[in-house]
C-alpha cells in the first residue's frame, strides 16, 4: 500500500475506552490482502494461490487490477491473472477457493501505490467516465466470479490528483454502490491512516454511507522516507512523538481509528495489521531510540527484496536472532530490535494480541491484513500462519477446519465459555447433474469439439450450473486431460483430430 506523508494539526484523542461496545453475534471480519506478485518470489518466499488457507480469513482480496487510459478496469499482469495466451489463470483459481469454503468472500482490489492517482482523478472527473468504469467493473467481477471490488486509490487530491477529487470520489462511491449493491456485490476501500491525507481526500460521511468495509491502512507511519528511525505501526503515541512535533502527534493506530470513529460506524472499520516490519541503518550504532538519526533503509530481505522492508516470515527466518537486542516500547506497545547499525520495528505476537484487544474495545468490525503472504505461511519458525491464526483466534475463537472431527454429544448441564454464539455450517448441497457443458466444478473442455481452443469455467449455483467460456491463445488448444492450454503437438487428442484453423 503506501507510506504516510505528514499528518495534520493537533487533536487529542484519549486512549482509554470505557467498556466494550455491544456487538451482534456475527464473527469479526478478517480481511486478507494477497499480493499476487508473491508468486515471483524465490525459495521459501514464493507464494501462489494454492498456498492460501481458505479457512483463516473471512474476506480475501486479490491485488491489484489497474485502470486503462479509457477508464476501464484491466489486469496488470495478464500472464499470471488470466488463462488467455498460455496464462496461469490466477483470478479464477483465486475465486475457486469458494468451492473449498463457501463461507468466504473473494474480492478484487484496483489501484495501489504504484498506480498513482492521476488516472483515477481523470476517471472520476465526469459522469460519463465513471459510468464507463463502473460498467467495466461489473463485467470484470462477473467474468472472474469475484464477490466485490476494493478501491485502493492512493489518494484523491494528492499525488497528481485534482482539488475536485474529494467530491468526485464521493460520487464514484455512490454510483458504485448503487450499481453493485443490487447485484449482491461488495464495495470496500483501502484508506489512509494519516490525518493530513484523510482531510483533503475523503468526505467521511460518504465513506460511511456507501462502503460495506473501510480498510484503514494503520501502518507505514514511519519508514526509510524519514531521516530518523521510527516504528512502522505504533499502537499508541509516545512522549517523543509529542516532543518532536511536526505532525507526528498523530502517528499511532489509536489516533487514526478514533479519528474515523467520529463519523464512521465501528462495524464497518477494519484495523490494518502489517505482517511486515520497517528497517533502517543507524547513523550511529549507539543511538537506537526512535527519532535518532538514520542513514537510510536497511538492505532488502531475501524474498521481498525491497530495501527497508521485511516480511514477518523473512524476519523470523533470516534476520531476528538471539544475538539481537530487543526493546518492548512501554508507551507505543510495540517491539523493535537492533544489532550493529541495523534497526527494525515490527509486530510480534504480543503486539498483535494487544491490537486485537484494542480492536474489540472499540467495537470495530474486524482486522485487515497486509499481507497474508508475509506471514510465516510455511511454518519455518513454528506453527504455520502464527500471526493470522492469532488474529482469528483472538477475534473469533478456534480456527475453522475443513473437515471437523465428530464430537460426542455435549452435556447440556455443563458450563460454556463461548464469547458469542455460532451457527452450525449446513452440509453442502448435492452437486448438480452433469450438463452439456459442465461435468464438474472448475475447468471443463469444449463438449462439442476435440482439439479445441475453447474451455469453460463452471460454478455450481444451487441445483444448476453457471459457466463462462474462455479461449486459449492463438494456435494453442485446451487439453481435456491436463486441463491447460498446450500446443497441438503436445495434445494426444490432436494427433487424431486436427486442430481447427484460425
Catalytic residues: 154
Task: Give helix 349-361 / helix 253-261 axis angle, nearest 10°.
Answer: 20
Cell numbers representing residue 371 in the block: 499481507
Cell numbers representing residue 220 in the block: 507505514
Q: Comparing C-alpha atoms, which of 194, 268, 219 is closest to residue 370?
A: 219
Cell numbers representing residue 451 in the block: 482439439
Residue 417's contacts (CB-CB under 8 Å, 6 or more residues apart) are none
Residue 87's contacts (CB-CB under 8 Å, 6 or more residues apart) are 78, 79, 80, 81
Instruction: Report d(CA 234, CA 332) in Å as an integer.
Output: 5
The answer to whether 391 touches 30, Cβ cutoff 8 Å, is yes
**Hey, what's the torsion of the CAs at 384, 323, 278, 62, to 10 degrees?**
-10
The answer to whether 253 touches 271, Cβ cutoff 8 Å, is yes
Q: Comparing C-alpha atoms, which of 1, 98, 90, 43 is closest to residue 371?
A: 1
Amino acid at each position: 500500500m503506501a507510506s504516510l506523508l505528514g499528518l495534520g494539526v493537533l487533536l487529542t484523542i484519549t486512549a482509554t475506552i470505557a467498556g466494550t461496545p455491544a456487538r451482534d453475534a456475527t464473527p469479526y471480519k478478517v480481511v486478507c490482502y494477497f499480493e499476487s506478485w508473491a508468486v515471483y518470489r524465490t525459495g521459501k518466499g514464493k507464494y501462489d494461490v494454492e498456498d492460501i488457507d481458505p479457512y483463516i480469513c473471512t474476506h480475501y482480496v486479490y491485488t491489484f487490477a489497474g485502470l486503462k487510459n479509457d477508464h476501464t478496469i484491466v489486469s496488470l499482469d495478464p500472464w499470471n491473472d488470466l488463462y488467455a495466451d498460455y496464462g496461469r489463470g490466477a483470478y479464477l483459481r483465486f475465486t475457486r477457493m469458494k468451492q473449498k469454503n463457501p463461507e468466504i468472500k473473494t474480492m478484487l482490489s484496483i489501484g495501489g501505490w504504484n498506480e498513482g492517482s492521476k488516472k483515477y482523478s481523470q476517471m472520476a472527473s465526469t459522469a460519463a467516465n465513471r459510468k464507463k468504469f463502473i460498467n467495466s467493473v461489473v463485467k470484470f467481477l462477473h467474468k472472474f466470479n469475484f464477490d466485490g471490488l476494493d478501491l485502493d486509490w492512493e489518494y484523491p487530491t494528492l499525488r497528481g490528483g485534482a482539488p475536485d477529487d474529494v467530491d468526485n470520489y464521493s460520487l464514484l462511491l455512490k454510483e458504485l454502490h448503487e450499481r453493485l449493491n443490487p447485484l449482491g456485490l461488495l464495495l470496500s476501500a483501502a484508506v489512509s491512516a494519516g490525518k493530513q491525507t484523510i482531510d483533503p481526500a475523503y468526505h467521511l460521511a460518504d465513506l460511511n454511507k456507501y462502503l460495506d468495509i473501510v480498510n484503514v491502512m494503520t501502518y507505514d507511519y514511519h519508514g526509510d522516507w524519514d531521516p530518523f528511525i521510527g516504528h512502522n505501526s505504533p499502537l499508541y503515541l509516545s512522549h517523543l512523538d509529542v516532543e518532536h512535533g511536526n505532525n507526528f502527534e498523530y502517528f499511532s493506530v489509536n489516533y487514526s481509528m478514533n479519528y474515523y470513529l467520529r463519523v464512521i460506524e465501528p462495524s464497518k472499520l477494519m484495523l490494518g495489521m502489517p505482517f511486515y516490519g520497517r528497517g533502517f541503518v543507524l547513523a550511529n550504532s549507539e543511538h537506537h531510540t526512535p527519532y535518532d538519526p538514520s542513514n537510510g533503509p536497511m538492505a532488502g530481505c531475501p524474498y521481498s527484496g525491497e530495501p527497508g522492508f521485511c516480511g514477518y516470515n523473512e524476519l523470523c527466518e533470516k534476520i531476528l536472532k538471539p544475538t539481537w537486542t530487543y526493546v518492548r516500547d512501554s508507551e507505543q506497545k510495540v517491539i523493535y530490535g537492533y544489532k550493529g547499525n541495523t534497526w527494525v520495528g515490527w509486530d510480534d505476537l504480543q503486539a498483535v494480541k494487544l491490537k486485537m484487544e484494542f480492536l474489540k474495545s472499540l467495537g470495530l468490525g474486524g482486522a485487515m491484513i497486509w499481507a497474508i503472504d508475509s506471514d510465516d505461511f510455511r511454518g519455518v519458525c513454528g506453527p504455520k500462519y502464527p500471526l493470522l491464526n492469532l488474529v482469528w483466534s483472538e477475534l473469533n475463537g478456534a480456527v475453522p477446519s475443513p473437515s471437523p472431527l465428530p464430537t460426542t454429544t455435549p452435556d447440556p448441564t455443563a458450563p460454556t465459555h463461548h464469547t458469542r454464539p455460532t451457527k452450525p455450517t449446513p452440509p453442502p448441497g448435492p452437486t448438480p447433474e452433469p450438463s452439456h457443458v459442465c461435468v464438474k466444478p472448475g475447468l471443463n473442455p469444449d463438449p462439442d469439439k476435440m482439439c479445441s481452443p475453447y474451455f469453460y469455467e463452471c460454478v455450481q449455483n444451487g441445483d444448476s450450473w453457471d459457466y463462462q467460456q474462455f479461449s486459449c491463445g492463438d494456435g494453442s488448444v485446451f487439453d481435456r486431460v491436463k486441463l491447460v492450454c498446450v500446443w497441438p503437438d503436445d495434445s494426444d487428442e490432436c494427433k487424431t483430430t486436427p486442430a481447427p484453423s484460425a
